[in-house]
Structures are given as structure tokens and as C-alpha cells.
Amino acid sequence: MYPFDRLREQTYMKPCESAIPRLIVIDGSNIARSSCGTDREDLDVVVFLPVIYNNNYNFNATNAQVLPKLRNLDVLTFTPARAARSGRSAFINYDDLYILEFAERHGGNVLSGDRFYDIAKEYTYRDYRQIIKERRIDVIFRPLDADFVEYGRDRFFRFLPELRVLRINGINSSLSADERMQRRLYCLPSDKDYNKVVRRREFWTSKRRDEIVSAIDVLLDEIATKNCLVPKIIPVQIPSSSKTEVIEIKNSSL
């Protein structure tokens, strides 16, 4: 049974007409999985990943050949690695600060399973505390029983991502789960970082969106072809006021 009933469109809807989508900054080394996200059409995303993964010989990086292509699309940024004084191999730099700084600069949110406790307790990084407490989004990856799945306009590789926000006492604790998620995904004119979000949003056009979505679809097709995978097509269920309508989508080869 595929858990597509967890893809709740209400979660991704604007809370009001004046709301603007925030930039989503993804902690790549923390949550990176072989999966595509849902509702890709209107979300500006940047992934931060340590540069050591940009290596076809790194056994922790599957399909690393797509990383330079994602960087060329400006949806992936590599954080630097450094060598220890003893001459050991490069290790992951403190990339959490890159992620939080970029989110703070553009009024974005952070998609990460890291709670950033070590940063939040440091007075030096007090400017990041609001992001950590109020704009961090967690994610669960639910395994699928097929390597490549298509569900409507969305495509998933091995896992289905489910975004969630943990309830924290005293921080929007009276809001519903959907409302807490919307507060993180969208910025309102009354928010103090509204101008930051507006400036970032000026770079997000329908042309850029279409180029990114098209390029990522090509990369997914290349991965599927390389691994001899044929997508499993799952019928889309659209709830209505009286019944659930099932739309059959014809299977097609890559």
C-alpha cells in the first residue's frame, strides 16, 4: 500500500493571497535520499552538500554524476571540505552554518532532521535561533516497494518524502499541523523578513521553474535508464465533495 494519502495538498496551499513562498534550504548531508519532492512547480529550493560527495568514487554518493548538473542549475551548492593538520583525508566542514546563514539572508526555511542544538545554544549564533525554532521543517522518508514511482506530475525514486513540523510548547502550539507547516513555507507581509523573501522571489520565474523541472526529469530518466528501471504508475486519487475520483494514468516506458 503506497502512503500517498499523506500528500495533503492543503499543507502546501497559500494561507492567504498575499503570502509568498519562502526559499527552501535543504541540508543535503542530513536528509539526502534518492527521492524527488512533491508539488515541484512553485517552490524555490537550494541544497547544500559537502563537496566530498562530488566524487564518483565516494561510496556514500550514489549517482554522483548528477551533482555537477544540479549545481549548474543553481539548485545545489557545495560546502568546502578541509584537510586535518595531521594530513588525514578531507572531512565534512561545519556546513550547518552555511545552511542557516543562507536561510537567514533570504528569509528562507530549513529542511533538515538536525535540531541544531549546538548552534542554538551559542550566543554568537543568536540570529539563527528563530530559524531553528520557527522555520525548520523535518522530513520522513517512507520506503516504496518500487524503485521508481510516478504519481501524477510527481516522481519518486525509492522513497516518499513526508514533511512534518514537530509541536513545540509555546511556539505556535495552538495551530493545526497544516497551519504550522504553512507558517514555515510561506511569508506574510507582516513578517519582519518579508522584504528578503520578496527580493529572493524576484529571481523565481515560470521560465526558470520549467527549466529546472525539465532538467531534473531528464536526470531521473537517465538514472532510471542506467539502472534498467521502468516507472510504476500509481493512479491519482482526487477527493471531491461526494466521492473520490480515480484517474488512470497510462504506463509508459522511459
**In the structure grid, which three cell numbers stand for residue 94, read together?**
561545519
pLDDT in tens, 202-243: 988 889 989 998 998 899 899 889 889 898 888 876 655 433
Give yes or no for a contact between 148 and 230, defined as CB atoms under 8 angstroms apart: yes
**Alpha-carbon distance 149 to 129, whole Å?**
38
- Report the 3 state secondary structure along the chain: CCCHHHCCHHHHCCCCCCCEECCEEEEHHHHCCCCCCCCCCCCCEEEEEEHHHCCCCCCCCCCHHHHHHHHHCCCEEEECEECCCCCCCCEECCCHHHHHHHHHHHCCEEECCCCCHHHHCCHHHHHHHHHHHHCEEEEEEEEEEEEEEEECCEEEEEEEEEEECCCECCECCCCCHHHHHHHHHEECCCCCCHHHHHHHHCCCCHHHHHHHHHHHHHHHHHHHHHCCCCCEEECEEEECCCCEEEECCCCCCC
Confidence of residue 20 (pLDDT cuts 50, 70, 90): very high
pLDDT in tens, 104-160: 999 999 999 889 988 998 899 999 999 999 999 998 888 888 888 888 878 888 888
Give yes or no for a contact between 77 and 46, defined as CB atoms under 8 angstroms apart: yes
Confidence of residue 51 (pLDDT cuts 50, 70, 90): confident
Please count the residues of the chain: 254
Go through the domains of the chain in sequence order and give each one's CATH number: 3-234 (3.40.50.11980)
Residues 6+ apart with CB under 8 A from 72: none
Give yes or no for a contact between 15 and 188, defined as CB atoms under 8 angstroms apart: yes
Residue linked to cell 513562498: 21
Residue 185 has pLDDT above 90, yes or no: yes
State the burial class of residue 15 (Cβ atoms within 10 Å of its Cβ: 0-12, 13-18, 19+).
middle
Give yes or no for a contact between 21 and 198, defined as CB atoms under 8 angstroms apart: no
pLDDT in tens, 198-210: 999 998 888 998 9
**CA-to-CA dists, residue 43 to 25, 137, 239, angstroms:** 11, 14, 24
**Alpha-carbon distance 27 to 46, whole Å?**
9
Residues 6+ apart with CB under 8 A from 173: 167
The model's pTM is 0.82
